[in-house]
Chains A and B, each alone.
Chain A
Amino acid sequence: MSATLLELKGVHTHIGAYHILHGVDFEVPAGEVTMLLGRNGAGKTTTLRTIMGLWAASQGSVVFDGRQIGGPQGDGDAAASQLRTPEIAAQGIAYVPENMGIFSDLSVAENMLLAAKKARTLAQLDSARLEWLFGLFPALKKFWLHPAGKLSGGQKQMLAIARAIVEPRRLLLIDEPSKGLAPAIVQNLIAALRELKRTATTVLLVEQNFQMAKALGDRVAVMDDGRVVHRGPMAELAADESMQHRLLGLSLGAHQ
């Protein structure tokens, strides 16, 4: 296994009066795709949001590349080492939220421009990289100057992912990209993410779609009730139907 890029150690997160994460532990190895699976309400989205600093961890730590980016330092100390979301993003972490976070009043191009820290105008976008992104997601090229709000659900998802990688990023957090998409579109998405995977981008991918998880994951962490209840290679989980049943409560038939 390659070096650990991101590590969560005993992370607790409270949202208002609710205690959502109860000590989440797992690592994301560099250059691999780590799947974060689990039932609805297991805490997957909260985990991603905690990594991104959108919610602060009340206990434990989030360590990115040897530097603590989230969680209080030691016990009881004020959130001294909790970075703010923009600072976390500046570490090279990109986030694709469940609702995709598309700026629907802006054009596709403007959405991309905002994610590119180095470019001030459209003309300054790295054209070779855009080329590559258009190769992954041809719809973006077609609708480049159209309002992003007019895109279909699948196209918005592609834009959200392309926007996250408009510049090279060190870690990509993606929350349920297949949600609400037709099976054919999910296949496109899998193909694009496989292509992305070939560039050895580190990805932490939350999914409910087990087929997608199987197709993309190197490693897997399964959450239940605010904790990680299983960690291991994706292939192992993919091969063991009874384990899938136990951990995810899924019968393969019900999940394609």
Chain B
Amino acid sequence: MSEPASTGALAASPASEALAKTRFDLRPLALMAVIALAAWPAVGSSSTWLTLTIAGLAMGMIIFIAASGLTLVFGLMDVLNFGHSLFIALGAYIATSVFTSLGDWATAASVARNLAAIAVAMIAAMLLAGSIGLVFERVIVRPVYGQHLKQILVTIGGAIIGEELIKVVWGPAQIPLPPPEALRGSVMIGDASVEKLRLVSVVIGMVVLLLLLYILNRTKIGLLIRAGVQDREMVESLGYRIRRLFVGVFAAGSALAGLGGCLWGMNQQIVVPQIGGQVNVLLFIVIIIGGLGSTLGCLFGALLVGLMSNYVGFLAPKLTMFSSIGLMVAVLLWRPQGLYPVTSR
């Protein structure tokens, strides 16, 4: 046997772990840059372009937050959850209730109080969406493990029931969800006006992204999730209960959808019971573009869809939905497995 060298340094060198990431594929990022640059001359004015780009990125980050759980749930257990949008609607509605009950916190012209109100709304949305996600998993998803057709039917059914329950609790009429006082209006960057709320959304999205990336890349539970997406049988053979892992991911994904819904509602400034259905199509477009099961793909897919929707929404509003689907078709023609295919699936 060949002689072994010292391992001490080796086992304790997480810093050089960056090596493992050298294979990072930059082409999807380039695609994003190409789309952004191509939109510039089409939009005409650079200040408008900047406004649209930041709005697009904000929308992308919100979609990413909402969709990240969906892609992991599919990747881990092959579960197609068409009820995911229910948690988005829940998040938005909970935000309306929190803002109403906190009253002056959201309306006072104090940045600290406003931010606190948002924080409370976000936490409440996550907690409630996460707990209802647990119930949803147990009652609706678990009986149909491994049966795609039934999953689609049953989860859509669950979403419809959820939407009706929302109407029971919050009423069928639309509820305004004005952003807190200090976050209304815009700031000027150069001569481009950028809504404050969009900036806050981008920041919150970044925080969630970094947290997710940290968990998925640097903790054992995250490694297990990634391993489970690739080969759940092997994860079980190593002695881990993938069901338990899956339930945790499902609840966390529902909580993130709740958070996404909270932000989405604030950005729309109005909440309707059909909010879930509106977002659902986007969610699936995003995770298909990204590559089912891939978190990074989900991020880029969401940003691409966000940018595309905003540019096209400005240039030719009627084509907005088409642009997202067209983008999906184009990406799938380029990479049939999505931008970042999960290997060995």
Beta-carbon contact of B239 and A89 below 8 Å: yes
Give A120 to B8 CA distance when docked, in angstroms.
17
| B213: min CB distance to chain A, Å | 14
Interface residue? B44 (CB, 8 A): no
Interface residue? A131 (CB, 8 A): yes
Beta-carbon contact of A125 and B11 below 8 Å: yes
Tell me whether A146 and B236 are in contact in the complex, defined as CB-CB below 8 angstroms, given that A103-B230, A103-B231, A141-B4 are known contacts.
no
Question: What bracket does the count of chain B residues touching chain A fall in?
Answer: 35 or more
| Interface of B: prevailing SS | helix
Beta-carbon contact of A127 and B8 below 8 Å: yes
Please, which residues of chain B bring their CB within 8 A of the CB of A36?
Answer: none
Please, which residues of chain B bring their CB within 8 A of the CB of A107?
Answer: 17, 20
Give A195 to B10 CA distance when docked, in angstroms.
23
Mark interface residues in A148-168 (1 if CB within 8 Å of B CB, else 0). 011000000000000000000
Give A94 to B238 CA distance when docked, in angstroms.
7
Beta-carbon contact of B220 and A145 below 8 Å: no
Chain A stretch 202-254: residues in CB contact (< 8 A) with chain B: none
| Interface of A: prevailing SS | helix
Please, which residues of chain A bring their CB within 8 A of the CB of B343?
Answer: 104-105, 149
Give A52 to B235 CA distance when docked, in angstroms.
12
Query: What is the total number of residues of chain A having a CB less than 8 Å from a CB of chain B?
Result: 45
Chain A stretch 171-225: residues in CB contact (< 8 A) with chain B: 191, 195
Interface residue? A74 (CB, 8 A): no
Mark interface residues in A19-40 (1 if CB within 8 Å of B CB, else 0). 0000000000000000000000
Chain B stretch 215-271: residues in CB contact (< 8 A) with chain A: 220, 223-224, 226-227, 230-231, 233-242
Please, which residues of chain B bring their CB within 8 A of the CB of A141?
Answer: 4-5, 7, 10
Q: Which chain A residue has the least Cβ–Cβ distance from B223? A: A110
Give A95 to B236 CA distance when docked, in angstroms.
10
Beta-carbon contact of B20 and A138 below 8 Å: no
Please, which residues of chain B bring their CB within 8 A of the CB of A84?
Answer: 236, 241
Chain B stretch 1-23: residues in CB contact (< 8 A) with chain A: 1-5, 7-8, 10-14, 16-17, 19-20, 23
Residues of A within 8 A of B (CB): 52, 54, 84-86, 89-90, 94-95, 97, 101, 103-107, 109-111, 113-115, 117, 120-123, 125, 127, 130-132, 134-136, 138, 141, 144-147, 149-150, 191, 195
